[in-house]
Structure 1
Amino acid sequence: MTAIHGVIEAQSQLVLTREEGLLASVTTLGGLRRWRDALVQANTRPDGSYGCALGALCAQLPDDDERSRTALAAAFERWHQLLIETLERLRDLGVLTVDADPHKLGTGLLAALQGGYMLAQNAHDPQPMADALDMALDRIDTFASR
């Protein structure tokens, strides 16, 4: 295993373990907002270290490193699956209406998160991340059972 593959494995494990822990207990839309708050808070560092460890690795890889890209794609797919499972749980609990599409909403949520990470990193300000996640969560809220 090369050094970069070891870094990818370690960072993937770190991020996915964190996400599993945060998302496992989400049973309300308020819980989903608390997940958002935890990510935004974690992205606010006194030293200006903003961004996603996995996204940063993606940006740094050469196009011909297929092994690394495959490993990162698997990590992102697992993250996506965690979001889908959370949204399915909310739908199954009746928090979201039956017409909510967890796959589509999970894709939008992950895209907002990753885009938000990138914008926050560039601006050295977590607000763009918070705003992107708020927009995605506002969309999910349109499927809330009333």
Structure 2
Amino acid sequence: MAATLTTRGRETRQRIIEATGQQILAGGIGGTTLDGVRAATLTSKSQLFHYFPGGKTELVREVAAWEGQQLLDAQLPWLDDLSTWESWHAWRDALVDYYLRLGRWACPIGSLAWEAAATDPALAGFVADAMRLWRGKLADGIRRMSEAGHLEAGVDADRMAAAILAAVQGGLMLSQPERSSWPLEAALDSLLDVLRSRTLPEHVDAERSVSSLKQDAP
């Protein structure tokens, strides 16, 4: 659909997707209605179904695709090159900044996962694929660290990547009532400390220097 639209049509369609994403983040899928989306975007019912013939189901899936890409893009370029401790620190900061910019302590993809698991198997599958892609990129980074000799042998990259993602989602859940990033940062830093504990002896001093510079930064 998007490829055949005019520039104005693509802009309108994207505006609808983004407005729907905001409503889902605030009230969940169940609390999001097409009438609410129409009011927020000043679009008619015919416009809405022109861009999304499948109605709310199609719209929510488009939101999931867009949110998933936004999340990955916010972690670039570091997510694609987690081969040094410096890049891991930069990735961590970029991820925290992304959630700060959202203005709400919730992960759009994580929030969709909770509801989709019970209401829309197809959407749940899509969200699971998005999470696997994210987890896979983290696991690739851990493998690069091992291959480069920064980590000792035997680190289970897939399990560690899953634990890091669990820390992100759990940290966000605790950050919501606090209205602060510190629970998210604490969860992330704790998992990265676990990863750093597997640093090979010859790289320990270099990693301590990086950590010291980070702690001393304003």
TM-score (norm 1): 0.89
- 1:121 aligns with 176
- 1:43 aligns with 99
Between structure 1 and structure 2, the one with the greater Rg is: 2
- 1:33 aligns with 89
Q: Could you say what the CA RMSD is over the residues aligned between the two structures, in angstroms?
A: 1.8
User: Of 79, 87, 90, which aligns to 2:145?
Assistant: 90
Give the Cα separation in 2 of the matches to 1:23 and 1:62.
27
Structure 1: state its 5+ residue gaps: none
Give the Cα separation in 2 of the matches to 1:73 and 1:141.
28
- 1:11 aligns with 67
Larger RCO, structures 1/2 (Cα 8 Å, 6+ apart)? 1
Segments of 4+ moved more than 6 angstroms: none
Tell me, yes or no, if structure 1 residue 64 matches structure 2 residue 119: yes
- CA offset at residue 26 of structure 1? 2.4
Give the Cα separation in 1 of the matches to 2:170 and 2:180.
13
Three-state SS of the structure 1 residue aligned to 2:92 is helix
Three-state SS of the structure 2 residue aligned to 1:63 is helix
Give the Cα separation in 2 of the matches to 1:57 and 1:9.
11
Three-state SS of the structure 1 residue aligned to 2:118 is coil
- CA offset at residue 10 of structure 1? 1.1
- CA offset at residue 50 of structure 1? 2.2
Contact persistence 1:48–1:124 (CA under 8 A): no
- Matches for 1:71-86 after TM superposition, within 5 Å: 71-86=126-141
Contact persistence 1:40–1:126 (CA under 8 A): yes
Aligned residues with identical type, % of pairs: 28
Contact persistence 1:99–1:143 (CA under 8 A): no
The amino acid across from 1:140 in the alignment is: L
Structure 2: state its 5+ residue gaps: 1-53, 202-218
TM-score (norm 2): 0.61
Give the Cα separation in 2 of the matches to 1:142 and 1:104.
15
- 2:15 aligns with none
Contact persistence 1:97–1:144 (CA under 8 A): yes
User: Of 146, 160, 174, which aligns to 1:105?
Assistant: 160
The amino acid across from 2:145 in the alignment is: L
Give the Cα separation in 2 of the matches to 1:20 and 1:62.
28
Tell me, yes or no, if structure 1 residue 136 matches structure 2 residue 191: yes
Give the Cα separation in 1 of the matches to 2:194 and 2:78.
21
Aligned residues: 145
Higher-helix-fraction structure: 2
